[in-house]
Amino acid sequence: MAYLDHNATSPIRLEARIAMERVGTIGGNASAIHCTGRAARAVVDHAREQIAGLVNASANEVVFTSGGTEANALALWGAVHAATDSSAPIARLLVSAIEHDSVLNTAAAIAERTGVVCAQIPVTRDGVVDIGALEQLLAEGSARALVAVMAANNETGVVQPIGDVVARAHAANALCLVDAVQACGKMAIDFVELGADYLTVSAHKFGGPQGTGALVMKANAPYAPQMPGGQEKGRRAGTENVIGIAGFGAAAECLTHDDASNTARLRDRFETSLRSRSPDVVIFGEAAPRLGNTSNFAIPGLPAETAVIALDLDDVMASSGAACSSGKVQPSHVLRAMDVQRELAACGLRVSFGWNSEEADVDAALDALARLNSRIRERKAA
């Protein structure tokens, strides 16, 4: 089987599995004061240091969550609620048009329930957030805003100019949320250097377990917990997932530059060979900086829904966009935001490489696509 859907979930690393099995023998609640509880707390504290080291943050800035979706929701709701009674309440949410649904849908819900105005920041045809449009949106009102722009897009891999985004946001007294779920583990993420107020990551995107993530936020960033409780220093209630957190930390420590170099080499070889076999292929965002592991492409006349099923039957795992949206029939909102024609967007396929990807995976995908194209041409000719 050729697994080329690491952007949806990267298979769990051996180191993470071993860490989780070892911690599973401890038992205990990290909030308990007896020796077993203290052992569980030590695991959580160690993992917090590991995640902080991964993104160059302080350990006390890391809040463990159930994943990236919850982390994004906590940042958005927490910021808006905390600032409501302050001298600078958040009255606007400026969200890029290519954000993950966990940001887009949460922002829409906040707007519906609170009266906060929500506006989308457009992107260029290459899938890069339009800095000029962001500046214009920031200048349109004096009310404080929260800007949400992801570090790299989960569907196209296009890397966003986060430094420019944060600089523009802070110059306008706005807060900034950076969803680094897809980027973390595939490119360097430096919380201090980025300067964002909130940053989110998720374990299962780079070989950790599903159901574990983190919200990283500055100590002075406005934040109100959404559920009262004592865990995570009162910032996120609920018993910590000690086993998952241990796997999260272990996976973070496994990340190396070699992983990124290998996936970039495989992705480049895949695209070069694909173009030689299918000269009419369109690779979305290829003119922009991209994550080295991601290729989002379309072969005109080959519907994505058909291709994903056919590839699956040929033991090649790929996708037609975000995993959370795979049940939808309409084309990707990311490609629509990039002004891709609907007919071409309906052919959009994504392959994404990861820590255990090999040359054989590239060959399997290319051969499977060639066989599929051949069958389609034969049917059209019949």
Task: Tell me the catalytic residues.
Answer: 324
- Cα 120 from Cα 97, distance rounded (Å): 5
Strand-pair category, 282-283 with 294-298: antiparallel
Query: How far is Cα 371 from Cα 382, in angstroms, rounded to an integer?
Result: 17
SS3 178: strand
Name the DSSP class of 39: H
Residue 79 neighbours by CB under 8 Å, 6+ apart: 90, 146, 175, 177, 197, 198, 221, 222, 223
In angstroms, the CA 346 to CA 300 distance is 9
Q: Which residues, listed in sequence order, are joined to residue 178 by a DSSP beta bridge?
A: 199
β-bridge pairing 117-121 and 144-148: unpaired
The two most distant CA atoms of the chain are separated, in Å, by 75
Give the Cα-Cα-Cα angle 11, 322, 320 (nearest 5 degrees): 100
Q: What angle do CA 212, 218, 219 make, to 5 degrees?
A: 110
DSSP for 283-309, written as a single string: ETTTTS-B-TTEEEEE-TT--HHHHHH
